[in-house]
Amino acid sequence: MLDLHCHLLPGLDDGPVTMQESIAMAKHAFEQGIKYAVVTPHIHPGVYENTADTIKDAVELFKNQLAEHDIALNVESGAEVRICPELMQMVPMQQIPFLGESEGYKVMLLEFPHSHILPGSAQLIGWLLKHNIRPLIAHPERNKEIHTDPDKMAQFVSMGCMLQLTAGSVAGDFGSPSRSCAQYFLKRGWVEVLASDAHNLKSRAPNLMQGVRATSKLIGDSAAYALVEENAYAIAGKRFEH
């Protein structure tokens, strides 16, 4: 399986603090069947001031540590990017790492605030698409405004955005509203990727199988596994071919 959204790098955001924690998470991920991971620290101006260069350096250090600990998890750099006006400056300056590509577009893991959809979001997404960047919207099922009306995601899907669900949401780990939204999106066929969004081993571990099993009950085994295999590899798989 390929995990397209996880916070494994130490000290960059609200994920693991130490390299020891990061290595433990990587070991757990590999043991749970995750063989590849795009690590996605937050980029959130004013909160998490990460850039493509700083993340790349952290990934290289992490890769060295994985090799030293004999953990065969393959990792590449990415980011979970908070939607904000600063993107219009950061993109031309090549400060945003992408997950991979889809149908000729670069793919950005784009995060909405957890509480609402920012006014102007559609316009900014339109700007990204015009600049050949296709958003993969991170965990929309956990957004409180979306809880009240899941169809608010329809405009973004129709624009060309892809949706990424958190595996734990489908399994019920984030509460009933998030699970209901996740189920709704899956039944509508809007979901491209299932990912762990792992942050730690205690409450947000890098697990995918529980979510895959819950998803299988809704859309069948082959469609569920595609969300962590074929679809994920279609976006990022080429990056792991060295």
Distances from the Cα of 102 to the Cαs of 4, 49, 139, 158, in angstroms?
13, 27, 19, 16
- CA separation for the pair 211, 126 (Å, rounded): 31
- Dump the DSSP string for 181-196: HHHHHHHHT-EEEEE-
* Nearest Cα to Cα of residue 16 among 51, 65, 53: 65
Tokens 């015009």, located at residue: 130
- Weakly modelled stretches of the chain, pLDDT under 50: none
pLDDT by residue (tens digit) across 159-186?
999 999 999 999 999 999 999 999 999 9
Exposed/middle/buried for residue 87 (C-beta within 10 Å: 0-12, 13-18, 19+): buried
The pLDDT assigned to 16 comes to: 98
Is this model's pTM higher than 0.85 or not? yes
Exposed/middle/buried for residue 28 (C-beta within 10 Å: 0-12, 13-18, 19+): middle
* Nearest Cα to Cα of residue 197 among 29, 23, 27, 57: 29
Q: Which residues contact 20 (CB under 8 A, 6 or more apart)?
A: none
* Nearest Cα to Cα of residue 35 among 12, 66, 68: 66
206 CA to centre of own chain: 12
The pLDDT assigned to 242 comes to: 67
pLDDT by residue (tens digit) across 39-80?
999 999 999 999 999 999 999 999 999 999 999 999 999 999
The boundaries of the domain holding residue 196 are 2-240
Q: Of all helices (H) and strands (E), which one includes residue 24? A: helix 19-31
Residue 106, domain CATH: 3.20.20.140
Q: What is the number of domains present in the chain? A: 1
